[in-house]
């Protein structure tokens, strides 16, 4: 099904005039120069195809050209009517091996000359005349070459519009060329039609994190243990050459689009829908944040759009901008790929609908919502996963996959994720401040993650802010602890370097009975030294309010209670500081940690 | 000459490997007819009869999970075996530690199906009822020649004979009607003419050509109809 759906995606793009996608037998390549030759082929001018965009970056023109780029390796493989300057002109800047460059040019020239009679097009013949006339020594007369030959080049005839490789006669001839390999016909698994079956699947899949830079293949059979019934290589699974090309081209296109690609854990994940929707480019940002735009203004605009999108999601509105009502049933596909040597394996594959995915994402956005969030958008999956380990590289890859899967399907979050978050909270109270610049955000995200797990896995209903009527004692213990700490600050000054939190937080959240009585008696001293009588009374009242909800201190708290403790603490801290001054809440709350 | 049977099969995991992704295995969404045939043949089969799968009911939602397993990269060499037979001595071993391959698999989790199939007799001197009742007795008692499995030997299947109503389905509504793409129907064996052949039949030594056959599978109300091998929608 995966190959079928990718093939469908290719066809969707092929019928979309806004997209440039290479037809079967062609590829999209970056061109930096063009050789303009007259019909006699006895002179040449070189034109640059590089355009400079506003921010000073040079962008080569992309053109659809016949054939694929060269296979890796040392062989001499000239392309057809396009190539790099070494093949086209026998020129290479600072050439280490002039002999080889000469061979390349000769191979390129001979290939074209041998095809002249078969093609029989005047423009193609002009190129042949040019190749006969041109000597690599002519380069000296064209100093501009040094600057413009960084990418590929192609041919154009003087006074004509369009390139030689776009000529109808040339295209017609190219379309008739079968791959020279021993062709085998059969039924294609993707299209169901009688076609030439691909022996190897090309083009290679590029852009999967950790895979070989030259690209990998989803379908490949390299050892005899994979062969069945005497079939060799990809004849084991009959897929036509055309379908092979189409699915791989579509997949490469998806993988090269940063707004659809999410790299999490060991997998590279892509998102697409059956027909164009905004969801397919908006949804991935829930996982890895907005893609980097090419300039700041665009970036800012994108961020505002996304913030608005998440806000609508959080309010539970079926998002009108992202998809209209009839779009809700549009199939939505998520494909996770991970590398295994030269092969690309399917990590996960999910078929859903835009409506369903949108519903699940809404749930996630609601679950992670908290008061006084330091970010305008909800924490992304990448950010939450970041909080499960000390260093980004220590995040277990399995966790990323299963966490993402939980969000997309609405299933329970992995408990390993919850445990990892609690472990980091315990381990990192002091280190954080020195270790990470964004530790305030980090703390917020951990609490958000705890809340999400409590809501989904432990079926709790949790508000975004302080909820003084919660039944669980653990939550109120967390509140109490926040209050005890605040009283200490009230008594000894806001800018204390260390508070009771630094020494007792872990113990208070796991074995309250062992520390709370001690902390409470300590707090009496703090209370007595608060100068303002009004403040003292209001604090005492709050202590009584919280204490009235508790019956003794538990000896031990399980993971669920620990999560509630953290949440209660966070809510109470936010509440204590918000009342005083709303604008100050985040930095001061952070100081108190 | 046919008689239909219904068998409930279920298991914790299954992998009906797609041919195009059989190296890093990815399962089909639904049990393939040839896997269903394998299950039935594990319980009862004789050379005088043949199993024909009619339809497969999907009882649980399709859920995938991903595992990494140790597999082996080579096959035992047939030519080595042959020369060892002639000489009476030779090395036939295959050391898995040396040939180990670690490969990912995207497999199905928590599956349950009802296989509907019929028995066709090849040797008409025996009535089809004989085979039917033998199968029924064996299935009811839980007897089998070897443990039936769901696609791969490591995913063992439990089975139960069904008389009358089918077990309740847990398949959610949106999943029960959909296109499944081209699915392997079975391998069609024809006697080989000339030198080239794909397999040698174990019991007769005849050389055969093997052609995989595919059909366009579709789930309608949770049921996948399996066309007969001669049907027009079968492509090979």
Nearest to B103 among A230, A340, A349 (CB): A340
CB contact under 8 A, A349 and B106: yes
Q: Could you tell me if A252 and A262 lie in one domain?
A: no
Q: Could you tell me if A540 and A550 lie in one domain?
A: yes
B interface mutation test: which of A200, A217, A219, A352 has the most B CBs within 10 A? Answer: A219
Q: What value does the mean pLDDT of chain B take?
A: 88
A201-to-A239, A240, A252, A389, B213 alpha-carbon distances in Å: 9, 9, 13, 39, 21
pLDDT tens digits, one per residue of A509-554: 888 888 888 888 888 888 888 888 888 888 888 888 888 888 888 8
Residue B229 CA to residue A89 CA, distance in Å, equals 58
pLDDT tens digits, one per residue of A418-469: 888 888 887 766 555 555 566 677 788 888 999 999 888 888 888 888 888 8
Query: Considering the domain boundaries, does residue A584 fall inside one?
Result: no
Q: Domain range holding A512?
A: 469-578
Which chain B residues touch A219 with a CB distance below 8 Å? 20-21
DSSP A41: -
Q: Residue A340: name the closest of B68, B103, B26 by CA.
A: B103
Kindly give, in sequence order, each residue whose CB lies less than 8 Å from that of residue A307, ignoring residues fewer than 6 positions away.
A376, A377
Domain boundaries, chain B: 3-72+95-182+217-229
pLDDT recorded at residue A576? 83
User: Is residue A316 over pLDDT 70?
Assistant: no
| Strand arrangement of the beta sheet that strand A261-264 belongs to | A261-264, A267-273, A331-340, A343-353
Mean predicted confidence (pLDDT) in B30-46: 95
Global pTM exceeds 0.80: no
Of how many residues is chain A composed? Answer: 593
- Specify the 3-state DSSP secondary structure of A45: strand
Q: Could you tell me if A388 and A533 lie in one domain?
A: no
CB contact under 8 A, A347 and B106: yes
pLDDT tens digits, one per residue of A141-193: 888 888 787 788 888 888 888 888 888 888 888 877 765 555 677 778 888 77
Which chain B residues touch A346 with a CB distance below 8 Å? 21, 24, 26, 66, 104, 106
Domain final residue, candidates A406, A435, A464: A464
Query: Considering the domain boundaries, does residue A586 fall inside one?
Result: no
User: Is residue A221 over pLDDT 70?
Assistant: yes
Residue A417 CA to residue A200 CA, distance in Å, equals 41
pLDDT recorded at residue A170? 84
Which chain B residues touch A2 with a CB distance below 8 Å? 21, 26
3-state secondary structure B140-209: HHCCCCCCCECCCCCCECEEEECCCCCCCCCCCHHHCCEEEEEEEEEEEEEECCCCCCCEECCCCCCEEE
Please give the residue of chain B at the shortest CA–CA distance from A200. Answer: B20
Asked if the bond preceding A290 is cis, omega within 30° of 0, the reply is no
Confidence of residue A290 (pLDDT cuts 50, 70, 90): low
Q: Residue A22: name the closest of A326, A179, A248 by CA.
A: A248
Residue A146 CA to residue B42 CA, distance in Å, equals 72
ipTM score of the complex?
Answer: 0.83
**8 Å CB contact between A199 and A192:** no
Give A270 to chain B, closest Cα distance, Å: 17
- Specify the 3-state DSSP secondary structure of A24: coil
Which residues of A make CB contacts under 8 Å with B? Answer: 1-4, 187, 189-190, 192, 218-231, 236-239, 338, 340, 343-349, 353, 401
Residue A157 CA to residue B150 CA, distance in Å, equals 63
Domain final residue, candidates A176, A206, A236: A176
The CATH code for residues B3-72+95-182+217-229 is 3.30.70.2660
- Specify the 3-state DSSP secondary structure of A530: coil
Query: Considering the domain boundaries, does residue A590 fall inside one?
Result: no
A12 phi, psi to nearest 5 deg: -60, -45
Q: Could you tell me if A21 and A156 lie in one domain?
A: yes
Residue A205 CA to residue A341 CA, distance in Å, equals 13
Kindly give, in sequence order, each residue whose CB lies less than 8 Å from that of residue A244, ignoring residues fewer than 6 positions away.
A198, A201, A202, A219, A234
Give A195 to chain B, closest Cα distance, Å: 12
Please give the residue of chain B at the shortest CA–CA distance from A236. Answer: B19
CB contact under 8 A, B18 and A237: yes
Which chain B residues touch A228 with a CB distance below 8 Å? 19
Stated as kind and residue range, the H or E segment containing A452 is helix A439-456
Residue A186 CA to residue A92 CA, distance in Å, equals 44
Please give the residue of chain A at the shortest CA–CA distance from B179. Answer: A1
Domain final residue, candidates A409, A438, A464: A464
* Number of domains chain A contains: 4
Q: Could you tell me if A269 and A413 lie in one domain?
A: yes
């Amino acid at each position: 099904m995966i190959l079928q759906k990718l093939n469908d995606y290719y066809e969707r793009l092929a019928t979309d005039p806004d997209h440039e996608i290479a037809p079967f037998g062609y590829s999209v390549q970056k061109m930096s120069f063009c050789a303009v030759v007259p019909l006699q082929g006895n002179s040449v001018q070189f034109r640059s195809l590089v355009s400079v965009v506003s921010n000073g970056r040079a962008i080569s023109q992309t053109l659809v050209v016949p054939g694929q780029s060269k296979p890796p390796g040392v062989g001499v493989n000239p392309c057809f009517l396009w190539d790099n300057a070494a093949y086209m002109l026998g020129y290479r800047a600072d050439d280490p091996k002039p002999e080889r460059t000469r061979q390349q040019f000769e191979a390129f020239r001979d290939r074209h000359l041998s095809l002249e009679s078969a093609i029989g097009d005047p423009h193609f013949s002009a190129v042949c005349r040019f190749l006969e006339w041109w000597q690599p020594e002519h380069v000296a007369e064209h100093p501009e070459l040094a600057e413009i030959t960084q990418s590929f080049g192609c041919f154009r005839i003087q006074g004509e519009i369009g390139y030689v490789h776009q000529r109808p006669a040339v295209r017609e001839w190219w379309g008739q060329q079968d791959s020279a390999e021993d062709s085998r016909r059969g039924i294609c698994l993707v299209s169901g039609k009688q076609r030439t079956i691909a022996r190897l699947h090309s083009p290679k899949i590029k852009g999967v994190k950790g895979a070989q830079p030259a690209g990998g293949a989803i379908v490949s059979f390299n050892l005899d243990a994979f062969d069945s019934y005497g079939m060799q290589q990809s004849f084991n699974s009959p897929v036509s050459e055309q379908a092979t090309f189409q699915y791989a081209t579509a997949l490469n296109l998806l993988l090269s689009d940063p707004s659809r690609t999410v790299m999490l854990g060991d997998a590279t994940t892509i998102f697409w829908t059956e027909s164009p929707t905004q969801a397919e480019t908006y949804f991935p940002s829930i996982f890895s944040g907005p893609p980097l735009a090419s300039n700041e203004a665009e970036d800012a605009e994108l961020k505002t759009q996304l913030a608005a999108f998440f806000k609508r999601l959080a309010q539970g509105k079926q998002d009108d901008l992202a998809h209209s009502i009839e779009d809700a049933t549009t199939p939505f596909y998520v494909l996770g790929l991970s590398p295994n040597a030269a092969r690309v394996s399917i990590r996960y594959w999910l078929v859903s609908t835009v409506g369903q995915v949108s519903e699940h994402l809404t749930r996630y956005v609601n679950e992670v919502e908290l008061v006084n969030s330091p970010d305008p958008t909800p924490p992304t999956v990448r950010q939450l996963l970041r909080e499960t380990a000390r260093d980004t590289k220590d995040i277990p890859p399995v966790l990323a996959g299963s966490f993402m899967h939980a969000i997309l399907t609405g299933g329970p979050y992995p408990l390993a994720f919850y445990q990892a978050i609690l472990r980091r909270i315990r381990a990192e109270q002091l280190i954080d401040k020195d270790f990470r610049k964004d530790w305030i955000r980090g703390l917020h995200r951990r609490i958000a993650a705890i809340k999400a797990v409590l809501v989904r896995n432990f079926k709790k209903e949790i508000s975004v802010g302080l909820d003084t009527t919660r039944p669980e004692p653990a939550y109120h213990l967390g509140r109490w602890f926040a209050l005890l700490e605040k009283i200490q600050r009230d008594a000894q000054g806001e800018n204390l370097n260390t508070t009771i939190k630094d020494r007792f937080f872990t113990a208070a959240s796991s074995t309250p009975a062992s520390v709370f009585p001690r902390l409470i008696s300590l707090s009496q001293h703090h209370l007595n030294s608060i100068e303002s009588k009004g403040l003292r009374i209001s604090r005492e009242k709050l202590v009584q309010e919280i204490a009235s909800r508790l019956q003794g201190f538990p000896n031990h708290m399980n993971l669920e209670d620990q999560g509630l403790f953290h949440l209660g603490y966070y809510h109470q801290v936010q509440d204590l500081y918000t009342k005083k001054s709303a604008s100050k809440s985040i930095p001061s709350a952070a100081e108190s940690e | 000459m046919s008689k239909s049977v219904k068998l409930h099969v279920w298991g914790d995991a299954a992998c009906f490997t797609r041919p195009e992704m059989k190296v890093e295995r990815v399962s089909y969404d639904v049990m393939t007819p040839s896997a269903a045939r394998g299950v039935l043949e594990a319980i009862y089969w004789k050379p005088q009869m043949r199993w024909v799968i009619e339809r497969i009911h999907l009882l649980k939602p399709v859920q995938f999970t991903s595992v990494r397993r140790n597999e082996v990269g080579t096959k035992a060499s047939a030519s080595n075996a042959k020369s060892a037979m002639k000489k009476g001595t030779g090395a036939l071993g295959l050391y898995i530690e040396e040939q180990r391959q670690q490969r990912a698999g995207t497999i199905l989790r928590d599956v349950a199906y009802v296989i509907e199939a019929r028995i066709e007799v090849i040797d008409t001197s025996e009535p089809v009822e004989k085979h039917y009742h033998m199968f029924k007795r064996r299935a009811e008692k839980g007897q089998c020649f070897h443990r039936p499995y769901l696609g791969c030997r490591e995913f063992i299947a439990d089975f139960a004979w069904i008389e009358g109503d089918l077990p309740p389905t847990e398949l959610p509504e949106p999943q029960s009607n959909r296109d499944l793409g081209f699915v392997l129907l079975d391998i069609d064996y024809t006697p080989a003419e000339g030198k080239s052949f794909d397999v040698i039949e174990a019991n007769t030594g005849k050389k055969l050509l093997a052609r995989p056959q595919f059909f366009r599978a579709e789930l309608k109300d949770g049921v996948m109809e399996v066309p007969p091998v001669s049907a027009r929608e079968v492509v090979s």
